[in-house]
Amino acid sequence: MESRNQTFENLPGDKRERVLAEATREFAEHGYHQASVNRMVQRLGIAKGSLFKYFGSKQGIFEYLFGQTVAEFKKPLKAIRDDASGDLFERIERTLLAGADFVATHPLVYSIYLKMVYQEGFPMRDTFLSEIRRASDKFLRTLVANAAESGQLRPDIDPDMAVLHLDAVMDRFLQSCAVAALNPGVATIPDRATIRARARGVADFLRHGLGGPLHQQSKEIQCKS
Amino acid sequence: MESRNQTFENLPGDKRERVLAEATREFAEHGYHQASVNRMVQRLGIAKGSLFKYFGSKQGIFEYLFGQTVAEFKKPLKAIRDDASGDLFERIERTLLAGADFVATHPLVYSIYLKMVYQEGFPMRDTFLSEIRRASDKFLRTLVANAAESGQLRPDIDPDMAVLHLDAVMDRFLQSCAVAALNPGVATIPDRATIRARARGVADFLRHGLGGPLHQQSKEIQCKS
DNA sequence: GGTAGTGGTGACCAGGTGGTCACTTTGTGT
DNA sequence: ACACAAAGTGACCACCTGGTCACCACTACC
């Protein structure tokens, strides 16, 4: 067995946490390349050599964080998946709120995630992203399949496309909870009440669309028959 | 008058273009901080001093590009806004296709835009983003207002929220045309035919939502009355 | 006291960064 | 042929980066 990282594991718990918290902050604020090991050790008040003894390299630091984080990232989804109460759109709404909670309590982790998506050159980027995507895709696909069976979904819509749209809208909702610039007009992070209202609005929109009476004609015909 | 940039403006047109193209490529590939002036001049086969004589600083290079690009970024939107044929959702579909065209013909420019949104530390970031957002917001708001007047929009939906949803779905559609990782399963850039089909699907989804027969009950009641 | 193993240290390194500037080359008008 | 200006050059600078390693301080066992 290689004794990698043994030094770091032996450290007292509070010091470990301080180091990881500081590293998380640094990567969240600056992305990968622009993150500075010098800054980390300076803020931690420890010597640079120590950090490199713990993790071997800058990439080592990031990958350690990364491993710790991925599991936590998936937890909220599992809880929702196992709670089958309500129809598709109610479950979606619960998922949105769970996601918003996660972003609110782990803003730095979510910030790293966003930077990884749009910034190339992160170590492990492809591995990580495909893993996350696959999990999310599987989750939505299950939801959609169940909904389609019980007629909660328009029969003329391709389930794959439905998953695509759900993913798009939900992901964007999450981003708007974290990125100020994505909130039109105000350009600030919304508060909890706004988020709850918006989640409901999103679910309602997903259910019924935006089309007005002029576009309900086809459905009126259905009524007459 | 300050004679800033005069040297660059005096250059023969093809050389100007080569320089700008190379700079665009560099920023698109590496973002702002990670972009290297050394690499630019090496690939261009000119001396570093020349670039700094043209633009003064790295930030100067970026801001020059930036100014050239913003106008081009808005062009497609204007064409759509002035063509009022069709209802809201048909216009949305045209907008989507125009956007996809822009992304396909200016992938580097769009790549820079995406990096700016999710990567802090770009010069002019706030100025630039708020300008773009404002333009996009104004455009959608006009479309929605017109649609609401002629009953193309569900009367019980807040126009502001409608704009929010439209912006989210459309922006995400555009991103999926450029970022491979956002295309579930395949994780590749879609071809033109796929894009056209997907744009239609998006418009249809925006119009009617995803909800199936079980959720059309309220509308059947409308029919009876 | 001796010694082995631990975590901790910071001066130092090679390499890359944006930026400078004294200098050379080129073009043009007379 | 000469002068003058504009364009072009690349060695050089200070600074920062990730990474190294010989050395130090402390504890524990004999």
Instruction: For residue B125, give every residue at least 6 positions away whose Cβ sits within 8 Å of its Cβ, in sequence order, or none.
Output: B116
Q: Does the C-beta of B7 come within 7 A of strand D?
A: yes
pLDDT at position A179 is 85
Q: How far is CA A36 from the centre of its chain?
A: 25
Chain A residues lying within 8 Å of B198, measured CB to CB:
161, 164
Mean pLDDT by 10 residues, chain A (225 residues): 70 94 95 96 97 96 88 76 88 94 91 86 84 86 92 91 93 91 79 95 93 52 38
B150-172: per-residue pLDDT in tens? 899 999 899 989 999 999 999 99
A199 found inside a domain: yes
Which strand C bases fall within 7 angstroms of a protein CB? 6-12, 16-22
- Separation between the CA of A113 and the C1’ of C9 (whole angstroms): 34
Closest-CA residue in chain A for B160?
A184
CB-based contact B181 A30, cutoff 8 Å: no
pLDDT at position A214 is 52
Cβ–Cβ pairs < 8 A, chains A and B: 193
The residue written with tokens 């190339």 in the block is: A120
pLDDT at position B8 is 94
Chain B residues lying within 8 Å of A179, measured CB to CB:
117-118
pLDDT at B178 over 60: yes
pLDDT at position B4 is 58
A219 found inside a domain: no
Instruction: For residue B202, give every residue at least 6 positions away whose Cβ sits within 8 Å of its Cβ, in sequence order, or none.
Output: A165, B92, B93, B96, B169, B170, B173
A208, A217, A219: best mutation site toward chain B, by most B Cβ within 10 Å? A208
Q: Does the C-beta of B114 come within 7 A of strand C?
A: no
Q: Once rounded to an integer, what is the mean pLDDT over residues B192-196? A: 95
Chain B residues lying within 8 Å of A158, measured CB to CB:
201
Given CA atoms A195, A201, A206, A209 in this order, what sign does their dihedral have?
negative
Sequence letter at residue B112: I
Compare CB distances from A212 to B120, B151, B202 and report the shortest one's residue: B151
Name the protein residue, with chain letter, whose CA is nearest the C1' of D21: A49
Q: Does the C-beta of B50 come within 7 A of strand C?
A: no
In sequence order, what are the beta bridge partners of B211?
A153
The tokens for B166 are 């439209």
A224 found inside a domain: no
Q: Does the C-beta of B36 come within 7 A of strand C?
A: yes
> In total, how many domains does chain A have?
1
Provide the residue range defining the domain that includes B48: 6-210
- The percentage of chain B sitting over the pLDDT mark of 70, rounded to a whole number, equals 92
Chain B residues lying within 8 Å of A39, measured CB to CB:
none
pLDDT at B129 over 70: yes
- Separation between the CA of A30 and the C1’ of D22 (whole angstroms): 33
Chain B residues lying within 8 Å of A201, measured CB to CB:
158, 161, 165
Closest-CA residue in chain B for A172?
B168
Q: Does the C-beta of A11 come within 7 A of strand C?
A: yes
Q: Does the C-beta of A57 come within 7 A of strand D?
A: yes
Task: pLDDT band for B214, please (50, 70, 90 cuts).
Answer: low
Given CA atoms A143, A145, A148, A154 in this order, what sign does their dihedral have?
positive
Nearest chain B Cα distance for residue A11, angstroms: 34
pLDDT at position A3 is 40
- The percentage of chain B sitting over the pLDDT mark of 90, rounded to a whole number, equals 59
A87 found inside a domain: yes
Closest-CA residue in chain B for A116?
B118
The tokens for B196 are 């056209």
B86 found inside a domain: yes
pLDDT at position B179 is 85
Q: Does the C-beta of A49 come within 7 A of strand D?
A: yes
| Cα B135 to Cα B130: distance, rounded to the nearest angstrom | 9
A88 found inside a domain: yes
B223 found inside a domain: no
- Weakest-pLDDT range from A71-75, B30-34, B49-53, B204-208: A71-75
The answer to whether residues A208 and A216 touch, using CB atoms and an 8 Å cutoff, is: no
DSSP type of residue A211: B
Nearest nt by C1' to A37 Cα: D18
What's A101's domain CATH number? 1.10.357.10
B22 found inside a domain: yes
B186, B205, B218: best mutation site toward chain A, by most A Cβ within 10 Å? B205
In sequence order, what are the beta bridge partners of A211?
B153
